[in-house]
Structure 1
Amino acid sequence: MVSTDRDVPRPRRGRPRDRSKDLAVLDATVRLLAVTGIAGTSMDRVAAEAGVSKVTVYTRWASKSELIGAALTRLQVEHVPDPLGAVRDDLVAHLDAMRRQYDEVGGMAIIGNCLAEEPRSGELLATIRASTLLPRRALLAAVLRAGVERGELDAGLDVERVVSMLLGSLYADHLAGRPVGPGWAAGVVDEFLRPHRAAPPR
């Protein structure tokens, strides 16, 4: 007897994954990182904070490291500005996005907690660096290199060092108690550009 498609049992499809639960878990993870650090951000505690079952968390993320990476990567992706085509405008947009992100999620507290736990949480810190800091550095470096290629910046610019200076300004000003408000990014970028703009052709 020749079988037909109707004779072959079809696998049952489960219910569609509830995206709202994913977002609730990721948001809860970020909140706990800011308040309790890596050590206090357990999978079970995230489930309780998000108001979902433990099964919901464990079926989506295999480990705490994977969950933290997913949460911080989501934040990173949501705060990438569209390119504007001018080095000043793009740098201001990226730095201001970073400033607003830190304000919204307690970014300074997250960084402080992670650094405090560095000797015990090297693997998770590596995940955090890979999911947030290194992508942010890459975005700023791309803006600077594009500025060099367009002739807006000096050809001898040390791009990686400048990236560290720009990002470090946020941490330094925050720790010094200096205002880090809406005009902060433009002020930092303008001070950087003052000596680094390419000389006009003669």
Structure 2
Amino acid sequence: MATFGNARRTGRPRSAEADAAILAATRTALVELGWGRLTMGDVAARAGVAKTTLYRRWSSKSELVVDAVAVLFDELRLTDRGSLRADVEDMVRQIGELLDRPETKTALMAVMAESARDPALRLRIRDAIVGRQRHLVVQGRRRAQERGELPPDAPGAQNCADRADCPGSAGNAESAGNA
């Protein structure tokens, strides 16, 4: 969600229930309408909130949709399965199940397609989705090192999106425009 410094807000505090309803309504509307027909007004009506409520939280449709997708990836958990291989297999299973859900698949495809035309959106996706899951890589690496499955000097959890040698990354000038 968009945050604007540490300034105290006046009025009613934000409602976690309203936020959840808005994000769910966004995903549902995206599945039914597609990116091009999705509007902030439609999301507000489906969520049962005023359009101004949306704009206080998200300044644009793309911000709203990215957050609606990102929150789904927050469901991922790195469970200790006893080995690096089992941990990775479990994570791949969780990701597969998440991507099999129509709301995830449609929302992710829509936002990725739109990001091909919008470099700022690509960065927002990287921060909101990839960046928020970095802790899983760090946790898995640390756990595997503690079990002796990875050497102590194994490479860190460098985010591929930051590296120039990763195809499709923001750092790769050749493919960043095609990501």
TM-score category (smaller protein): 0.5 to 0.7
Where does residue 52 of structure 1 map in the other structure?
49
1:41 aligns with 2:43: no
TM-score by length of 1: 0.55
Between the aligned partners of 1:31 and 1:61, the Cα distance in structure 2 is: 18
Aligned residues: 151
Q: Which has the larger radius of gyration?
A: 1
Between the aligned partners of 1:46 and 1:149, the Cα distance in structure 2 is: 46
TM-superposition CA deviations, 1:144-170 (whole Å, max 9, x none): 454245322478977879x9xxxxxxx
2:40–2:61 contact (8 Å) kept in structure 1: yes
SS at match of 1:117: helix
Aligned partner of 1:68 among 48, 65, 69 = 65
Cα deviation, residue 26, structure 1 = 0.7
Higher helix fraction (1 or 2): 1
Please list every run of 5 or more consecutive structure 2 residues that lacks an aligned counterpart in the other structure: 1-9, 161-179
Where does residue 94 of structure 1 map in the other structure?
91
TM-score by length of 2: 0.61
Identity %: 33
Q: Which amino acid aligns with 2:65?
A: I
Between the aligned partners of 1:29 and 1:103, the Cα distance in structure 2 is: 18
Cα deviation, residue 106, structure 1 = 3.3
Q: Which amino acid aligns with 1:66?
A: E
1:28 aligns with 2:28: no
Aligned-pair Cα RMSD in Å: 3.6
Equivalent runs, 1:118-197 vs 2, <5 Å: 118-136=115-133, 139-140=136-137, 142-144=139-141, 146-148=143-145, 150-153=147-150
Between the aligned partners of 1:139 and 1:55, the Cα distance in structure 2 is: 35
Where does residue 19 of structure 1 map in the other structure?
16
| Distance change >3 Å, CA 153–CA 68, structure 1 → 2 | same
SS at match of 2:115: coil
TM-superposition CA deviations, 1:14-64 (whole Å, max 9, x none): 455433221110112223344545444332221123232212222333333
Please list every run of 5 or more consecutive structure 1 residues that lacks an aligned counterpart in the other structure: 1-12, 164-202
1 or 2 for the larger relative contact order (CA 8 Å, sep ≥6)? 1
Moved more, 41-50 or 19-28: 41-50
TM-superposition CA deviations, 1:106-161 (whole Å, max 9, x none): 33333332343334233223212221234445523642454245322478977879
Between the aligned partners of 1:45 and 1:59, the Cα distance in structure 2 is: 16
